[in-house]
Amino acid sequence: MLCTTLVSTDATTLMRDAAEHCDRLCHEALAARGVFHMALSGGSTPKALFNLLAAPAYVGRFDWSRIHLWWSDERYVPLDHPDSNYCMAREALISKIAIPAGNIHATPVQLSPDGAAAQYESDIIRLLGSAAAFDLILLGMGDDGHTASLFPGAISDFPPDHLVIAHYVPKVGMQRITFTPKLINAAHHVAFLVSGKGKSAVLDRVLHGSYQPDVLPSQLISPVPGETTWLLDRDAAGANF
C-alpha cells in the first residue's frame, strides 16, 4: 500500500493541487489504458474542485470524450434533488464540459435502494471488468471519520463480496448507496480531499491512531496495489504534518 500526503497552504491552493493531481492521473491512465474512470463524491470540498475543473484554466486539459464519471456514494433522492451528489456535480462540472452523455454513470436511484446498488454494481463490472479497478476514486472525509457513505457503527454487517450496497444511515436519516471498501480498495488511485480545521483532530486519529474501522471507517481505505493520496490544506493537517 502506497500512501502519500500532500499539504497545501490553504483551501484555494488545495483545489489547484487536487486539479493538477486529477490531470496527471488522467493523462497516465489515458496513456496506459485509453480511458479514465473517475468516481466522484459529494460534499462541499469536492464541489470546489469540480468548479475549478470546469474553469478555463483546466477544462481544455481533459479529453472528456475518454473520461467516465461515476459516484462513489449517492443519497437516495431523485437526481434533480438539491441533496443529490449527481445534481451537485452536474451543476458544478458536467453542465459546463463537452462530455458524452454515455460517459456519465449516475446511480440509478429510480430503482429501489437495493435494486439501484445491484444495478450499479453490474454496470461497473460491465464497463470495468470483474476486477473493477477505478483509475481514480475521489473521497471526502466527514468530521466523524466517515468516507463515501461508510459511517461509524454501520460497517460490520456489510455483505463482504458486494461492490456497491444500499443502507439506511440513521445519522443522516436517509438511504445511501455507496461503494464498499472492497471496491474502493481495488482502485488504481484513491484521493482524499480534506479541508478545514474541523477535520484536523479526526484526521490525526484516522492516520495515526489505533485501527478501529467501525469507529473510523476512513481507516478501511487502503488500496492494494493502488495508491492513496491525502490532499489536505494546512488547517486540516494541523500540527500532524
Among the listed residues 4, 12, 44, 65, the single contact to ligand 6PG using CB under 6 A = 44
Q: How far is the CB of 151 from ligand 6PG (least distance, A)?
A: 9
Q: How far is the CB of 23 from ligand 6PG (least distance, A)?
A: 21
Quick one: which segment of 105-113, 134-142, 163-171, 207-215 binds ligand 6PG (CB under 6 A)?
A: 134-142
90 vs 84: CA distance, rounded Å: 10
Q: How far is the CB of 27 from ligand 6PG (least distance, A)?
A: 25
**Is residue 73 at the binding interface for ligand 6PG, with CB under 6 A as the rule?**
yes
Quick one: which segment of 25-33, 111-119, 123-131, 139-147 binds ligand 6PG (CB under 6 A)?
A: 139-147
Residue 41 or 200 having the CB closest to ligand 6PG: 41
Q: Kindly give, in sequence order, each residue whose CB lies less than 8 Å from that of residue 74, ignoring residues fewer than 6 positions away.
A: 42, 84, 85, 86, 106, 107, 109, 149, 176, 177, 178
**Is residue 142 at the binding interface for ligand 6PG, with CB under 6 A as the rule?**
yes
Cβ pair 120, 177 in contact under 8 A: yes
Cβ pair 233, 10 in contact under 8 A: yes
**Is residue 107 at the binding interface for ligand 6PG, with CB under 6 A as the rule?**
no
**Is residue 147 at the binding interface for ligand 6PG, with CB under 6 A as the rule?**
yes
Q: Kindly give, in sequence order, each residue whose CB lies less than 8 Å from that of residue 232, ignoring residues fewer than 6 positions away.
A: 5, 6, 7, 8, 14, 194, 195, 203, 241
Cβ pair 147, 141 in contact under 8 A: yes
Cβ pair 52, 58 in contact under 8 A: yes
Q: How far is the CB of 184 from ligand 6PG (least distance, A)?
A: 12
Q: Is the peptide bond before 225 cis (omega within 30 degrees of 0)?
A: yes
**Is residue 43 at the binding interface for ligand 6PG, with CB under 6 A as the rule?**
yes
Q: Can you give the binding site for ligand 6PG, defined by CB under 6 A?
A: 41-45, 73, 85, 140-142, 146-148
